[in-house]
A and B are shown apart, each in its own frame.
Chain A
Amino acid sequence: AQSVSQHNHHVILSEAASLELGCNYSYGGTVNLFWYVQYPGQHLQLLLKYFSGDPLVKGIKGFEAEFIKSKFSFNLRKPSVQWSDTAEYFCAVNARTGGFKTIFGAGTRLFVKA
């Protein structure tokens, strides 16, 4: 069955610390991968996406993610977090073969201490 697994449900960091959120997926075929972010009281919005090409993708606000096909992983990273990065982060995957039904991970709540 198709699934997305996020390793950490809650992460607490101090400002300027480095961030890495793990994401593994189980989905047959060629996939598209996404990280969405939900800031408190706001919509879900796209942080970054991977469709093809360079497996290291850069998104908004200094975030990046690396697609490692052999590990079925798409981990999110940021070298130095800010208080404003406090949010919930969702990893998601879809595929054309699946009609682009997007499956989400359980989410990781990040709290950055000022």
Chain B
Amino acid sequence: GAVVSQHPSWVICKSGTSVKIECRSLDFQATTMFWYRQFPKQSLMLMATSNEGSKATYEQGVEKDKFLINHASLTLSTLTVTSAHPEDSSFYICSARGRGSTNTGELFFGEGSRLTVL
């Protein structure tokens, strides 16, 4: 199957700093990438949808100025958590949909990135 890779897998930062998480599709072109946030013992909450070359579409309640998403190429999307605070600590997961899943929307997931803000 298609491979999606996230980096870093775990990051610890001080409150007030910014953190960037990368999501790469390794063997396919990802026309659309989705960023999810997963709280402990809860489901995945969709944060935003990004299409290559255009601005991301954020879900209601997600601060676009705090969670900056860039999808500059068909293989890379980045999520930057700006001025991170302890409440931003969470597990962030990206997923990608390639041209081959145009009619189905099947997603391929990265391994996730755990953010801990001290």
Interface-central residue, A34, A42, A101, by most chain B CB under 10 Å? A101
Q: Are B34 and A101 in contact (CB under 8 A)?
A: yes
Q: Are B46 and A101 in contact (CB under 8 A)?
A: yes
Quick one: CB contact mask for B17-59 with A, threshold 8 Å, 1 for yes? 0000000000000001010100000111010010000000000
CA distance A43 to B110 in the complex (A): 6
Q: Residue of A at shortest CB range from B5?
A: A43
Q: Are A96 and B44 in contact (CB under 8 A)?
A: no
Q: Are B49 and A99 in contact (CB under 8 A)?
A: yes
User: Number of A interface residues, CB 8 Å?
Assistant: 23
CA distance A44 to B104 in the complex (A): 17
Q: Are B109 and A43 in contact (CB under 8 A)?
A: yes
Quick one: CB contact mask for A75-108 with B, threshold 8 Å, 1 for yes? 0000000000000001000111001111111110
CB distance from B49 to the nearest CB of A (A): 6
User: Which residues in A have their C-beta under 8 angstroms from that of B105?
Assistant: 32, 94-96, 100, 102
Q: Are B103 and A46 in contact (CB under 8 A)?
A: no
Q: Residue of B at shortest CB range from A91?
A: B43
CA distance A42 to B36 in the complex (A): 16
> Is A26 at the interface (CB under 8 A from chain B)?
no
A-B Cβ contacts below 8 A, count? 51
CA distance A85 to B36 in the complex (A): 24
Q: Are B110 and A32 in contact (CB under 8 A)?
A: no
Q: Are B103 and A96 in contact (CB under 8 A)?
A: yes
Name A's B-contacting residues (CB within 8 A). 32, 34, 36, 42-46, 49, 51, 90, 94-96, 99-107
Top 9 A-B pairs, shortest CB-CB distance: A100-B105, A44-B109, A106-B43, A94-B105, A104-B44, A104-B43, A43-B111, A43-B109, A51-B104
- Offer 21 A-B interface pairs, CB within 8 angstroms, sorted by A: A32-B104, A32-B105, A32-B106, A34-B106, A34-B107, A43-B4, A43-B109, A43-B111, A44-B109, A45-B109, A46-B1, A46-B106, A49-B104, A51-B103, A96-B103, A100-B105, A101-B34, A101-B46, A102-B107, A105-B43, A107-B43
Other than the known A90-B44, A99-B49, what 9 A-B pairs have Cβ atoms closer than 8 Å?
Answer: A32-B106, A42-B111, A43-B110, A44-B95, A95-B105, A101-B34, A102-B105, A102-B107, A107-B43
